[in-house]
Amino acid sequence: MAPPLARQHLIDPEVCIRCNTCEAACPRGAITHDRNNYVVRYEDCTGSGDCLPPCPTGAIDSWRQVLKPWTVEEQLGWSALPADQSHGEPLAGDVPADVEALTARATATSGHVPPPWSAAHPYVGLYSPEGPAEATVVGNLRLTSDDSDSDIRHLVLDFGRVAFPVLEGQTVGIIPPGLDAHGRPHNVRLYSVASPRDGERPRHNNLALTVKRVVSDRDGKPAHGVASNYLCDLTRGARVQVTGPYGSSFLMPNHPGARLLMICTGTGAAPMRAMTERRRRRLPLNEGGDILLFFGARSPHELPYHGPLMKLPGALIDVDLAYSRAPGRPKEYVQDRMRARGDDVLRHVLDDDCFVYVCGHKRMEEGVTEALRDLCRARGVDWDARRDVMKREGRFHIETY
């Protein structure tokens, strides 16, 4: 009888861009890295699936059937994934329960939320850290008011004669110059494209990013974000190394009449701006399909694109803003505004031609999910079941960081 096999979660070192997204997303600390590779510790991986959707390259979605799980030390030495050891045999009946759970959960939650059925085909990974594209900064505009301690920038990168095709919802990687504390090149940092596919300036080979300067860590302690400070300080004419594009799921539908429900905070506005601008430029075509946007920030002065957003026609978009620290106004988060607009939210969520996008701070995810669950429950709808259907149909997309 063939010896029992286990299914092991691994990371493909040939595809991984060492961006650290998976390690930050794993609730169990099962992902670790050294100067060579990002790897998954077999004993600690419970199969929560949290690391899979955020990985921009798909390197994380690698699996092997093994006789004996590979150790961290072995994985750190790889330059390519080893072969599967199954030789076609099925998994043995005595595979540990956690491995079965991992497999089932990974299938249900893996990065395989498909794109909307009518999305355009994205180009992915045209430029790697070893062979990045070079772009020129042609604009760097502060979006937040000068007296605000939040510095968010609208950065425009021009690719000249280098092909860098992107779709709304995709991200690009930025390689900060210099070396990290270990003397090796910095990890790639990801930024959402904030302009539509035909460019920030139509028919020019350029794109826009929305970058927040990181001056404190997630606990509020002072910190100097390597890539964000580098980007925010760039002046016109500077050259930037760009990888990507990445992302083949968080894309917008192309068919007329598709509804969009967008929920975002802070720089999570970037992909929403790209999609809205795409729709705005196509308004004369009368393709229909409304947009409902919930957008949260501390105050109007810290809400990127506040001015232009307020000038968009009501026929294009219904904008609902939540401020958590605006003087003279009650403290509100996006989920509070969603609850206040429950009927409108439900109209979107229950429409089979509605596509939902959530982007921004990681901590918004829970509040938004709770609001959707409560709103659905009050109308006799099971949100979790509804969400699973929407995910399977490529109609529910989350990108939080």
Provide the binding-site residues for ligand FAD, judged by CB under 6 A: 21, 54, 171, 189-192, 210-212, 214, 217-218, 223, 225-229, 267, 270, 399, 401
- Quick one: what does residue 57 bind among ligand SF4, ligand FAD, none, with the CB cut-off 5 to 8 Å set by partner type? ligand SF4
- Quick one: what does residue 214 bind among ligand SF4, ligand FAD, none, with the CB cut-off 5 to 8 Å set by partner type? ligand FAD
Residues 6+ apart with CB under 8 A from 108: 49, 388
Residues 6+ apart with CB under 8 A from 343: none
Opening angle at CA 155, ends 150 and 158, nearest 5: 170
- Quick one: what does residue 126 bind among ligand FAD, ligand SF4, none, with the CB cut-off 5 to 8 Å set by partner type? none
Q: Which of 17, 106, 372, 375 binds ligand SF4 (CB under 6 A)?
A: 17
End-to-end alpha carbon distance in the chain: 47
Q: 3-class SS at 37?
A: coil
Query: Phi-psi region for residue 169, left (φ > 0), alpha (ψ -120 to 50) or beta?
Result: left
Do residues 166 and 193 touch, judged by C-beta distance below 8 A? yes
Q: Which residue's Cβ lies closest to ligand FAD?
A: 225
Q: How many residues does the chain have?
A: 401
Closest CB 18 distance from ligand FAD, rounded Å: 12
By CB under 6 A, tell whether 274 contacts ligand SF4.
Answer: no
By CB under 6 A, tell whether 38 contacts ligand SF4.
Answer: yes
- Quick one: what does residue 55 bind among ligand FAD, ligand SF4, none, with the CB cut-off 5 to 8 Å set by partner type? ligand SF4
- Quick one: what does residue 304 bind among ligand FAD, ligand SF4, none, with the CB cut-off 5 to 8 Å set by partner type? none
By CB under 6 A, tell whether 16 contacts ligand SF4.
Answer: yes
Q: Which of 5, 6, 19, 155 binds ligand SF4 (CB under 6 A)?
A: 19
Name residues contacting ligand SF4, limited to 54-83 (CB under 6 A): 55-57, 59-60
Closest CB 187 distance from ligand SF4, rounded Å: 8
| Residue 315 CA to its chain's centroid (Å) | 28
Report the residue number, 170 or 335, with the smaller CB distance to ligand FAD.
170
Closest CB 189 distance from ligand SF4, rounded Å: 11
Residues 6+ apart with CB under 8 A from 74: none
Report the residue number, 40 or 291, with the smaller CB distance to ligand SF4.
40
By CB under 6 A, tell whether 270 contacts ligand SF4.
Answer: no
Closest CB 12 distance from ligand SF4, rounded Å: 8
- Quick one: what does residue 211 bind among ligand FAD, ligand SF4, none, with the CB cut-off 5 to 8 Å set by partner type? ligand FAD
- Quick one: what does residue 169 bind among ligand SF4, ligand FAD, none, with the CB cut-off 5 to 8 Å set by partner type? none
Exposure class string for 22-50: b at 16+ Cβ within 10 A, else e: bbebbeeebbbbeeebbbbbbeebebbbb
Between strands 259-265 and 206-212, the pairing is unpaired
Strand partners, 40: 31
Report the residue number, 56 or 394, with the smaller CB distance to ligand SF4.
56
How many angstroms separate the CA atoms of 352 and 331, rounded?
A: 33
Say which amino acid occupies 117.
W
Do residues 263 and 334 touch, judged by C-beta distance below 8 A? yes
Q: Which of 5, 6, 8, 21 binds ligand SF4 (CB under 6 A)?
A: 21
Two tokens, residue 265 = 């905070």
By CB under 6 A, tell whether 18 contacts ligand SF4.
Answer: yes
- Quick one: what does residue 334 bind among ligand FAD, ligand SF4, none, with the CB cut-off 5 to 8 Å set by partner type? none
Cα–Cα distances in Å, from 304 out to 77, 132, 293, 307? Answer: 43, 28, 14, 8
How many angstroms separate the CA atoms of 350 and 380, rounded?
A: 12
Two tokens, residue 13 = 């070192």
By CB under 6 A, tell whether 11 contacts ligand SF4.
Answer: yes
- Quick one: what does residue 60 bind among ligand FAD, ligand SF4, none, with the CB cut-off 5 to 8 Å set by partner type? ligand SF4
Q: Which residues here bind ligand SF4, judged by CB under 6 A?
A: 11, 16-22, 38, 55-57, 59-60
